Amino acid sequence: MPHKFFSDAKPPIAPKMPETFTQLGRSRVDEYAWMKDEDWQTVMREPATLRADIRSHLEAENLYTQTVLEPLGPLKDEIFEEMKGRLEAEDSSVPAPDGDYAYYHRYRKGDQHGVFARKSITNGDIDTGGEESIILDADLLAKDHKGFFNLGAVAQSRDHNRLAYSMDTKGSENFEIFIKDLLSGKAQSTDITTSTGGVVWAADNQTIFWVERDDNQRPYAVFSRNIDRSDAPRLVYKEEDPGFFVSVSESDSRAFIEISAHNHTTSEIWLIPASAPHNDAKCFAPRENGREYSLHEQGGYFYILTNADGAVDFQIMRRKIDAEADAAWESYIPYKPGTLILGLEAFEDHLVYLVRENALPRIVIVNMESGEPHDIDFDEAAFGLGLKGDQPYESRYMRFVYSSPTTPAQIFDYHMDSRERILRKTQKVPSGHKPEDYKTERLMIKARDGETIPVTLLYKSDLDISKKAPCLLYGYGSYGITISAGFRTGILSLVDRGFIYAFAHIRGGMAKGYRWYLDGKLEKKPNTFNDYVDVGRGLCDLGYTEEGRLVAHGGSAGGLLVGAALNQDPKLFGAVIAAVPFVDVLNTMSDTSLPLTPPEWPEWGNPLEDERAYDLIKSYSPYDNIVDAAYPPLFITGGLTDPRVTYWEPAKWAARLRDHQTGDEPILLKINMEAGHQGESGRYDSLKETALEYAFAVTAMAAR
């Protein structure tokens, strides 16, 4: 029987125009390939150029979804107001000291994007600041861009007289760069319009570095330009391999401009002295297939976080700064299996690194004079921990953020010698929050191959587990990305309504080390999907929930996850939320024109050259494995200008799912015609999207 809140509206019928694709002696038919605009690159920059028949179909899909979900309006609004009520209307980041100023971002009441401001300080002490000066009003900028607005970089020059900032007004992640004179208040465009958004200043306060996208939306080259002269942009570095992305940043001490060329398994760094920005870039160490590294200079050495020499969970090595590119690296913090080193920061007198053991993070600080290390310990069963990275190189303080599923985020400045913690900020929940009203559990659920999967649960303390509660099961499981067990105010709207919120720390992430990632990619990718299904089944077996009371939720590669899990076990789920889902894997990984395809072959395999990769991807790609089944209700979202998961993937998937739906539940598609991968960009507008997803989940479960 259909859920009581769904209308009798009929979904749009997508025309079928079968097209046959043949590669490696294998053929497949795609009846919905027509949904991909042949000139998609132009659509990314100019959405109005979308082919008329495609636009008509997407608009029909949106109208159908709007009609079906219209009865959810009051619940969506209620959840939105709850989420909004948990955010401070007037909130501010902790000021970050830089020279004689401290910089921060804050929201005024009603702000969607906020303002960037600074105040003068003495000796880096942010507690003795002067009057505030607003250096950029993002909400004022956004007023001229009603459809979409996203601010990229906001970077002050080293003499604090100029500000570089970038804006994306299409959702395509092409950013235009502007320079603002902080003395006069005047801003002007640099006519750089297809950057990735980041801007790095050289020490001369005149030269900026940025990354350009090519015609296929790939970040492929670093340019520099002296903004005080009319010189043309100077090509600093160009990547010839389409499988590598390019980025630019500055080193910990700001002595170097760092150019990184990387894919998911290999990296290479080129360096330019920040004091000599017109010098040629020099390669620190040539790329070696499968070797990753990052650099952090301290005391005449580059400390290198790397997986070199078989250090699966990474180690820290070092090399003299002035050594030749082929000089050997020496071990500093040896590789320890099971102890994953996640990040490294260098200070004038200290090294700080973040590790994860047994799915929990830990911070280690090393006094470089004495060589003595010490840890910062925490007591909760599950928590999230992160290095903030916004203290100066010369500082004796490092900054970190701590939270747990029940505990709001706390930001600390930690004195690395005295070990004193200064609480700089505690996340406030204006509408009220009592940690004791909630319970967190960490489970280990056995997968079908005997591996144990960590699962973090959050639910109300007074929830009667024996009644088999509805459960939203969130997962990702790709690129090594790990879902931290941190505090999230939004999910409380589900938990307060009797849901269990479950995070499945499946293979493909790094919850149990780098090996956990390797065991969920390439030929082992099916482990990711099996783990997710097995966690869902395990939660049912343990009595937390039951078949049909699970809501599958994932976005991007997490959309692939829930799509593959749905094909594998459609009866397990009572509803599915797939946000910008990467579901047309075989077609996307076979299309070299798409931005992410060559760089992501190390993650998924290359079906253009490798028969085994083709067959494996074909075996799990959600779009290619839909069968006749009584599918639960699905809510699928996408963005017209999304360069990561192109709009036609969710559109094709929705159409083919309907072809094979033997039940009565609706398959809903909502394409944001004015946004990309991240959806709405405003502080409150983004909440409305989440509120609708949660209203869908609550209603679907209430109707069972």
- By annotation, the residues acting in catalysis are 556, 642, 677
Give the CB-side neighbour count of residue 23, counting CA atoms within 13 A. Answer: 18
Hey, what are 215's tokens?
Answer: 């015609």
What Å distances lie between residue 223 and 215, 239, 259, 404, CA to CA? 16, 12, 11, 41
Long-range CB contact pairs, 591-600, < 8 A, 24+:
592/242, 593/216, 594/216, 594/646, 595/216, 595/217, 595/218, 595/643, 595/644, 596/643, 596/644, 598/241, 598/242, 598/243, 599/218, 599/242, 599/243, 599/244, 599/245, 599/263, 599/264, 600/263, 600/264
Which burial class, exposed, middle or buried, applies to 364 when counting CB atoms under 10 A from its CB (0-12, 13-18, 19+)?
A: middle
Are the CB atoms for 502 and 456 separated by under 8 Å?
yes
Q: Which helix (H) or strand (E) holds 445?
A: strand 438-446
Cβ neighbors of 146 (< 8 A, separation 6 or more) are none
Nearest to 403 by CA among 389, 387, 385, 390: 385
Q: Please, what is the angle between helix 611-620 and helix 526-541, to 10°?
A: 30
Pairing of strands 573-579, 550-555: parallel
DSSP state of 328: P
Nearest to 471 by CA among 541, 413, 416: 541
Hey, what are 299's tokens?
Answer: 């005391």
Pairing of strands 267-273, 256-262: antiparallel
Question: CA torsion sign, 671 to 675 to 679 to 684?
Answer: negative
Beta bridge partners of 93: none
Hey, what are 237's tokens?
Answer: 């570095």
Q: Hey, what amino acid is at 8?
A: D
Nearest to 697 by CA among 554, 503, 532: 554
Of the chain, the end-to-end C-alpha distance in Å amounts to 10
Beta bridge partners of 260: 247, 269
Hey, what are 619's tokens?
Answer: 């075996």
Q: Hey, what amino acid is at 671?
A: I
Hey, what are 317's tokens?
Answer: 């090595």
Hey, what are 197's tokens?
Answer: 């958004």
Are the CB atoms for 5 and 615 separated by under 8 Å?
no
Q: Which helix (H) or strand (E) holds 156?
A: strand 150-156
Hey, what are 3's tokens?
Answer: 């859920």
